[in-house]
Amino acid sequence: MKVEIKSRWGESVLFSLETDSLKLAVEAAVKQRAYLRGADLRGADLTGADLTGAYLRGADLRGADLRDAYLRGADLTGADLTDADLTGAYLRGADLRDAKNLNKFAVCSLLMLLDQPGKIRAYKLVKADGLAPFNGGIIYEIGKKYEVASANTDEFAQCAEGINLGTLDWVIGNYQQGYRILIAEFEAKDIAAIPIATDGKFRVFRCEIVGEKKLSEIGLKA
């Protein structure tokens, strides 16, 4: 049996595979870096599919089951996600700009920060001298307050201007020998952007550095 993935804008076949599973056909297409722009995948069962780096720009995914699908780095620009089930989907680094009917609150757990009262704490990864390892310009010191009034507020931009903070697992995952992990304090009103497809990082306009994590306590070596 041959499964064909067709374009939503006509009968042209974008990819085909001898299989009885649409899910396997889509995974194979992605693995072979097939051009799936505008693919008609309405109602497709893609539960748990590995779609890493998939090119699905403008795809019709209305009603598709994408529960627990792995969509890291996928291009979903302009895709129609009406009634698509993205529960548990891994969207880190995915491009969701202009995606239609995407419920960001169902796919981005860090949006809970917007509802936190009072002071919130997160982490700032810095080098030994207090500079951020990525596009550093500010030297962060304990006890000082910092502000970047021009912080980027685009929730589709994964990394941009502002004070970039992260979850503890994010800073541990990006830690290198000699780095430090500072504790930053801020309020919900100070948040500039929580990227929808965040990998654990977000931006704030302002924060205060109130402490430093002891590396040995979180399984790291200085």
Check the CA dihedral 216-218-144-170 and report its sign: positive
Coil, helix or strand at residue 147? strand
Tell me the CA end-to-end span of the chain in Å, nearest whole number: 57
**How many residues are recorded in the chain?**
222
Task: Let me know: does 221 contact 188? Beta carbons within 8 Å.
Answer: no
Coil, helix or strand at residue 218? helix
pLDDT tens-digit readout, 17-74? 999 999 999 999 999 999 999 999 999 999 999 999 999 999 999 999 999 999 999 9
Same domain, 86 and 119: no
Same domain, 20 and 83: yes
Question: Of 106, 121, 143, which residue is a domain's last?
Answer: 106
**Predicted pLDDT of residue 10:** 85
Same domain, 119 and 99: no
Could you identify the residue written with the tokens 């929580």? 194
Question: Of 80, 106, 132, which residue is a domain's last?
Answer: 106
**Predicted pLDDT of residue 1:** 85
pLDDT tens-digit readout, 164-189? 999 999 999 999 999 999 999 999 99
CA distances 24 to 16, 38, 46, 138, Å, are 11, 18, 9, 48
Mean pLDDT of 206-222: 94
Task: Provide the residue range defining the domain that includes 19.
Answer: 1-106
* CATH code for position 195: 3.20.170
pLDDT tens-digit readout, 112-145? 999 999 999 999 999 999 999 887 789 999 999 9
Question: Of 91, 106, 121, which residue is a domain's last?
Answer: 106
Q: Residue 147 — very low, low, confident or very high, per pLDDT cuts 50/70/90?
A: very high
